[in-house]
Structure 1
């Protein structure tokens, strides 16, 4: 019997890093995501194949049920080891999927290039949780860790405000469809940033954040209520300055695009993946001249 599951990708517009400490974050599910297809198998094993957007296989492996139940990993941080760790945590939440099965053939298919960083891991975790009828947030916490905003995006088809309150996710769907969206673009910086390493760096540098979180919450609210491009751009520029100070890093505009006429906002893990570009003129020629080929208009990226 064949079962198919799907989860949305994600982009974090405000609250990056600070969302871990209770800040309100504006998060946007994307039109891109990942499928998980589960079929019956045999031999007490999972035949696993993962396809990139272009149809190429980026991971293929046989996972023994015993490796999953016993968490047999080599601590090599290989893709196989990471997958076994996720499935082992899923097994602890629902042992029947191993104990009562003969085997599985599982296929995953991304609808975005794997290098884009739109949530290869979070969409997988949410798909596994859907399949096994377990809590995706708990599975994330027990495996990868993180704030969980990406799981919330995987499960929602419209923009959300995401916040951890007493370490529990609070998700509020919001009406965020700015009238000036034709002036918003997403540009891929040609490198995938590791969320784990970025979060570790943040934890080393953070200090007393209560005032900062209050300031970012105000920015998030002001962005939601922005009625014109200028107020929206000003709020995001203020957000960049705050994070630059906390992370002791230059903003992406300062480091890569100091001559750009407009605002550039880092998203998620600073230094990689996508940036949000706010500009009155189409920026495609500017970024292509600098070697950045992936420029996606807001309406082509975001679920609304």
Structure 2
């Protein structure tokens, strides 16, 4: 993993990266997703920008000891996600990540909230809970018809957004 330019916003980064802010210190590192997973990863535009304030407020209500434990869990899980090379393993890690975050911020996971009947993969929130984009895993392009039928026509393959 290489250092990333922290002066750039997430939208300006040239490669996928992880971001961590701990005790006032920000660290970012570029990451490489397994080539075996890339054909199954899509980003779908929901056009439902969310305000993160409520999620942050809920997170801050946790006791400091709980926050520290949650940070450790999420950090370890993030490493498992980015080091996955098997699709089912990757999906299981994403699902666990989503479940932990949902408890921390007291929000329903996006797949349970909006895409309960999508069974061909995982729908993972990105950014503010249920915001502009979700990460979706799908076995093939036909699986994405589910989202198009729901009115979500802006769908990007992993390689179209990540270099």
How high is the TM-score relative to the length of structure 1? 0.47
- Deviations 1:239-281, CA, capped at 9 Å, x for gaps: 0110111122211111111110111101110022111001213
Match of 1:201 in 2: 57
How much is the aligned-residue C-alpha RMSD, in angstroms? 2.4
Match of 2:140 in 1: 281
Contact (CA 8 Å) 1:188, 1:294: kept in 2 or not? yes
Gaps of 5+ in 2: none
1:158 aligns with 2:18: no
Match of 1:223 in 2: 81
How many residue pairs were aligned? 156
Once the two structures are superposed, the pairs formed by residues 181-200 of structure 1 within 5 Å of their partners are 181-195=38-52, 197-200=53-56
Alpha-carbon distance between aligned partners in 2 of 1:279 and 1:161, rounded to the nearest angstrom: 23
1:236 aligns with 2:94: yes
Hey, which of these two has a bigger chunk of strand by percent? 1
Match of 2:161 in 1: 301
**DSSP 3-state at the match of 2:140:** coil
- CA 213–204 in structure 1, closer or farther in 2 if over 3 Å, else same: closer
1:284 Cα deviation (Å)?
2.6
- Deviations 1:120-172, CA, capped at 9 Å, x for gaps: xxxxxx9xxxxxxxx94xxxxxxxxxxxxx63663x42222322243122222
Alpha-carbon distance between aligned partners in 2 of 1:152 and 1:279, rounded to the nearest angstrom: 24
Alpha-carbon distance between aligned partners in 1 of 2:96 and 2:104, rounded to the nearest angstrom: 13
Gaps of 5+ in 1: 1-28, 30-125, 127-134, 137-149
- Deviations 1:197-248, CA, capped at 9 Å, x for gaps: 3454334543321221111111111112111111110100000110111122
How high is the TM-score relative to the length of structure 2? 0.82
1:292 Cα deviation (Å)?
1.3
